[in-house]
Structures are given as structure tokens and as C-alpha cells.
Structure 1
Amino acid sequence: MLVARVILLPGKERRLLAGHLWVYEGEIKKVEGEVEPGGIVSVYSSRGKFLGRGYFNPHSQITVRLLTREDEEINESFLRRRLEAALAFRQRVVKEASAYRLVNGEGDLLPGLVVDRYGDYLVVQVLTLGMEKLRPLLIPLLVELLSPRGIYERSDVSSREKEGLPPATGLLYGEVPRRVTIREGELSFLVDIYEGQKTGFFLDQRENRQILSTLTAGMRVLDCFCYTGGFAVAAAKGEAEEVVAVDVSEQALELARENAVLNGVEEKISWREANCFDELRRLEKAGEKFDLVILDPPAFTKSKEALPSAMRGYKEINLRALKLLRPGGLLFTCSCSYHLTEPLFWEVVLSAAQDARRTLRLVEFRRQARDHAILPTVPETYYLKCGIFQVI
């Protein structure tokens, strides 16, 4: 099998040897042989050492993404093994849930591919040109291995533009309804597969919702950026006395109300359509107090350049949340921005606590659910931070 060769500049193999999967445009000395964009290449060090095999896109800043470190063919058999390994991992780490991430890109050594399972249905995101080229092999394999009733595509993400690809959504196999009901332990949620955030729901917070429900008994809870009510419902189901849930999206709140009814907790939750920054200020001015405040904002930054502004935003919401907490109250604060690293997350929270004149005790520090697999050698796979703190 003739495969084009990508030769790296001297010293540029170090990150790959340390376990990363990406080769940037500026790390390449030359390409030997013919390869179409999206095609398979072998990667070599400047001294001729074989480093791995992956797909190639000369129009992307990340020019090569490794699929394997072995000298093996990238074919149906290879993809079958990768998908079977991903499924076996989820069978081990996912418990009592009908919805979870089956494939998490680099975390499953399938960069550019996301597959989420919502009961009998699959939702797929194809994020790169190389994975787009492998689509004709992948979809039949998903059907064979998982026997879904339907597969829907949600490749409507901005990152495809960097790969020279347009957004893509629509039915790929079988039938998929717009809305499905999923189960997480004792919780149930309605999910809008066609238009919901990400692939329909924030599956990465599943384990954190379960933890939250163990903490809220008898509490007055504020849930900011509540979206379709995942944390609010979990708090109410955990015997919270009252939950105030805030989001700027009327459409999200409509589904949140339905989720409350679905779980029998509609009497405990009041929903407010408002900008969370404004509502936090209003609540503070009104002298409101809570026993637990949840902050789960959208990513305030998707680039390093916007990080300083994002840190100011994260600090402000944490500062205001801390001022709303009674002594002994809990702050349940999250960030899903990769660029806000764990050390920076700690810096923001502790700086907010200092300005609010609050002393914090760490209850627990958490990350994304285990099905959203993290490769320690690929730091980009770790993005969700969740700190649970008590005001003492």
C-alpha cells in the first residue's frame, strides 16, 4: 500500500512522541508523494522514524491528525476495532443512563468524530475533512454494531469551516423524531435532537447532575444558565425546598418546564427568563439569599485572544453568586471553556471569593462525565471543570 509521507522539521516530533495526535502546518518540512485533502498519510521524523498514520488536510492549521501509531491500513476493519473499543469502554463506565457519548473524538483515537447515543437513536458530528472521507465506512458500521432505529447528523459547528467544510444536518439512517426522552438514574429529560445545544443535550454534565441531587435536600437553590432544566430538575428531585432557574432563552425554558413536569417537580421550580448577569445583580440588590447557587454558563471564550475578557466574566458571576450564599451555602460552579484551564479556573474562583470576602472549603472538584473520554496527552480533550465549594 503506497501512502504519502509527511516529514517533520527537526525536533517537531516531540509532541507526538509524548502522546499528542496533531501535526500543525508549521511543523512540516515536506510531503512526499501524492495525497488528496482528507487522504491518509504516514508521518515521519526528520531522521526517518515512523511516528504514526492519520489523515491530511493542507487547508487546515492542524494539517495531520493521527489515527494510529502502528503501520496499519486505515480501513473498515480498523474503524470497527476503534468503535468496538469505544463501546466496550462505555459499557464499563456508564451506569443507569440511556443517553451517553459513544465516541469522543481524540479521546477514542477517532479525531473529528463525535457519536452520542440517545436511547434507540444516534446523533453524529463529523468535524474534519479526514473523517468526512471515512463517513461511507463509519455509518454502516454504526448501524451494524448498535442497531439504532435512526441516525441523525448534527455537524452544524463552526469548526468545520476551518476544515473547508459547510455545516451539515439531517437524517442519515432510519427514522429519528425531533424529540426523545432519555433517562439518567431517577431523572428523565426531553431532548430536542434537531436543534438542541451540542447534539441535543449536555451529556457531559450527567454525572455532575447526579452528584448535585445528593446535596440539595431542604435547600433554596438558584440555577443560573439553566438551559432546559437539567440541574434545576436534579436539584428539585434531590428534595430541594425551592429552585429558582434562570435562562435567557424562552425556547429552552419551555422545554425546561416540560422536563419539570416529566419528573413531577414542577411545583418546586420557578422559571425566570432573564440575562443571568443582570439577574444576579438584581437578586443581590433585592437582598435575596440562597443555600446553593449553580453556575453553568456557556463557554465565554473559544480562543486564547478572548481569554482575559472571559476571565472577567467568569469572575463576575462567581463573585455575585458568592454574595448570594448564606453561611454554609454551596457554590456549584462550572466552566466548559478549554482555554480556561484548571489553574485559571481556580484563580478565577479564589479571586472572586477574596473580593466577596468569603472563605471557601472544597467539597469536591469534578470534570466532564467519564464517557467524554480525556487523553492526558491531548489536553484539548479536557474542557469541563466543575468545582463544589462551601462558604465557611
Structure 2
Amino acid sequence: MAGKIILKKQAEKRLLAGHPWIFAGEIASEQVSEGPGAIVDVFSSAQKFCGRGYWNPQSQIRVRLLTLKPETVDEDFFFQRIRQCWDYRKRIGYTDNCRLVFAEADQLPGLIVDKFGDIVVIQTLALGMDRWKSAIVAAIQDILHPAGIYERNDAPVRELEGLPQVKGFLSQPFPTTFQIRENGLSFWVDVANGQKTGYFLDQHMNRQAIAPFVKDAEILEAFCYTGSFTCHAAAFGARHVTAIDASADALQLARQNAALNGVATSCSFVEANAFDVLKQWAAEKRSYDVVMLDPPAFAKSRQQIQSAITGYKEINLRALKMIRPGGFLITSSCTNLIPADLFLQIIRQAAADAKRQIRQVLFHTQPPDHPIVWTIESTAYLKFLIVQVQ
């Protein structure tokens, strides 16, 4: 029998609007006999059924809803959900590389599944989801028949759920560094040691979108990681790309990716802290036709939002100072705690401080294999902006 959670008065409003989280402070009563990760039924203060999900008394997010119906949560439940995810991706044209499961946006909170060709990488980032890992793996094997499955559960966020950081094979071992194709180019992916699940699939449409702005351009790129934007820019006819990253391992793959795509002579890679280099080169009055910025998330918690705002403003201010009149700033943020309107405000303030006039040319978010649910703010996380600088 499922445990029972009774909410405080009015606490169900967000659930009924479509957000699956219940915080500890919203609960009036917890009647759960099983341990952390147990499936529980959630009721309003008026004893109306609100949904069913998993419970973790060690987390501030006490319950994450899996369904608004009183349906059985078992192995078949996860099979059907993952099959729905795959059917949706196939329908929108994503059959090779894609985010197969995007957590809350796919009604599977705490679960990330990325598909790289016939290799699948999973993350179970919450305790309740981690308890169903074997069912999830079995469903993936039955539905996709992948050549291999790897878990990247070395994310620090798991510690907030009382979970250890682990990574490794969930299938027979396979080579964890391999090539994928994107926009007609080839890239090495390292699913064992790369960031997140090994490659940032969410920028693939935006990497294609830079084509008109980089042709014949001299480009500075900061936070280049393994060179996906770098190689796209060079392949699209950039005169030269100077790409900066602090990770020697990432730059090694970036150089290999440039060679793989026949653009090595158009690219140079610099191992350095991007903040330091942008500050120094702006002070030296170096100039470029295009500056590209694709930094990692600057805030993992609400306490870090102000420092993230400061960080975004600083790197974009330095970049704007180095762009030749008529050139372009191509800039991104993947911090879900910085909404789009705030990100655009940061760029506007950076331009004012840099004494540069800008005009928006293009604004994108993430691709459709990372669907956005309007009532779940965290699903709308990627901001991609191109502005022309006068």
C-alpha cells in the first residue's frame, strides 16, 4: 500500500497547474511506512487525490509526482513512459542522437537519458528514480536494443538525495569514446569522462544557426569545451577561430575534432581561464569579427544567482569590447535559474557599460528533443542569443 502525504491548505495549486514537486514546507502530514524512495499518494488538505510519486525525507523536494492518476507504478509503468518518450522523438525526427528522456518534461522527474547513435547514457538524479534503475535499463534495452548503456551518476546533485556518486557500465562493456555525426560534421564523444553525459546535444540547432555570421570571420571563442562550435564555425568558412578552455582533456578532444573535420589549420586552441583571458585581451584592445561564449552553468542553487549574474555580465562585457563594428556576439546561458528575460537584461546592461550599440538578430532556446513545459520553469533553461554590435 502506498504511503499517504497530506498537503497544507492551498499547497496543491502548483501541482494542479502541472508542476510535479512538493517541498517539505508544503506538507501537513506524512504517513509513510516504507523507507526513502517509497511510492506515495498525495492528497490536498480537503483529502482530494492530487497524484502519485516518490518520496524522500532527506530531500527538500519531498515528493516528485510521476502521475496525476491513481495508476500502478511498476516496471510496466516505466516501460510505457519510456516508449512514449521514444515515440515522441521519432515523430519529431530524432532517431540518431537525442535526449531520449528529459526528466520532468517527460513526466519522469530525476531521469535523464541521452542517446548517441546506438549508445545510451542515463542519469538517475533522485533517490526515488534511482530505485527503479533496473526497470529503466530493462525498458531501454527492450525498446531501443542499444549496443551499450552507461550511467553517469557522478553528479554532485545526487548527494542532496543521499545518493553516492557512481558511474560505469549498465550493459556489457564497450568503447566509451566514439564518433557521432551532427550537421554533417563528426565529433568524438567521451561518455565516461566528458561533462554531463559526454556531449551537449542541446546546442545542435544553434550550432547550425551560426553559419551566416561566421563566414570569412576572425573569431574568438571562450568555453569551447570539445570544439563543437569551433568546428562548425570553421566548416562554415571562418577565416580563423581562436578557442579557449580551461580543461586540457577537453582541448585534446577539440583538437582531434578539428582534425577529424579537416579544419585544424583554421583553429587554434588555448588552455586558459576564459575570465582571465577575456579581461586581459579586452584590456589589450584585441579585436575580432565574432566572439562566441558558451559557458557552463554559473548557478546550481538560488544562493548563487547573484554571482551568476555578475559572471555573465563580465564575460559578455569583455566580449562586446572586442567586437569590431558590424560584428556579432554569439552568447549562451544554460543556467535554468537565469530566465530568458533576465539573461537579455544582463546583455543589455553589458552593452551599455561597454558603450556599444547592439541589435538582436536571433534568439533561440533548446531543440524539441528537450521539450519545455511552461508550468515547470526548470525545463526552459537554454538561452542562445546573437546580436550585431555597432
2:13 is matched with which residue?
A: 14
2:23 is matched with which residue?
A: 24
Rounded Cα–Cα distance in structure 1 between residues aligned with 2:3 and 2:304 = 38
Deviations 1:273-298 (A, max 9, x none): 11112211232233322111111111
1:374 is matched with which residue?
A: 372
Rounded Cα–Cα distance in structure 1 between residues aligned with 2:64 and 2:194 = 28
Q: Does 1:146 align with 2:140?
A: no
2:86 is matched with which residue?
A: 87
Deviation at 1:366, TM superposition (A): 1.1
Deviation at 1:136, TM superposition (A): 2.1
TM-score, scaled relative to structure 2: 0.97
Unaligned runs of 5+ in 2: none
Q: State the AA in 2 paired with 1:177.
A: P
TM-score, scaled relative to structure 1: 0.97
Rounded Cα–Cα distance in structure 2 between residues aligned with 1:224 and 1:43 = 46
Rounded Cα–Cα distance in structure 2 between residues aligned with 1:94 and 1:355 = 43
**What SS class does the counterpart of residue 76 from structure 2 fall into?**
helix
Q: State the AA in 1 paired with 2:231.
A: V
Picking from 227, 252, 255, the partner of 1:254 is 252
Rounded Cα–Cα distance in structure 2 between residues aligned with 1:158 and 1:197 = 12
Picking from 207, 216, 219, the partner of 1:218 is 216
Rounded Cα–Cα distance in structure 2 between residues aligned with 1:91 and 1:291 = 39
1:335 is matched with which residue?
A: 333
Rounded Cα–Cα distance in structure 2 between residues aligned with 1:171 and 1:254 = 24
1:242 is matched with which residue?
A: 240
Deviations 1:126-183 (A, max 9, x none): 1111111111211111101000111011000111111110011111112321201011
Report if the CA contact (8 A) 2:221-2:243 is conserved: yes
Rounded Cα–Cα distance in structure 2 between residues aligned with 1:32 and 1:300 = 38
Q: State the AA in 2 paired with 1:83.
A: I
Identity of aligned residues (%): 47
Deviation at 1:102, TM superposition (A): 0.5
Rounded Cα–Cα distance in structure 1 between residues aligned with 2:159 and 2:307 = 24
Deviation at 1:33, TM superposition (A): 4.8
Deviation at 1:94, TM superposition (A): 4.2
Q: 1:41 to 1:80 in 2, by over 3 A?
A: same
Deviations 1:44-74 (A, max 9, x none): 1000111111111111110110001111001
Matched pairs, number = 390
Picking from 266, 269, 272, the partner of 1:271 is 269
Rounded Cα–Cα distance in structure 2 between residues aligned with 1:152 and 1:214 = 37
Q: 1:337 to 1:33 in 2, by over 3 A?
A: closer
Unaligned runs of 5+ in 1: none
**What SS class does the counterpart of residue 35 from structure 1 fall into?**
coil
Q: For structure 1, which segment, 31-40 or 353-362, has the greater mean C-alpha deviation from structure 2 after superposition?
A: 31-40
Counterparts of 1:1-392 in structure 2, within 5 Å, are: 2-95=1-94, 98-392=96-390
Rounded Cα–Cα distance in structure 1 between residues aligned with 2:249 and 2:241 = 19
**What SS class does the counterpart of residue 341 from structure 2 fall into?**
helix
Report if the CA contact (8 A) 1:151-1:173 is conserved: yes
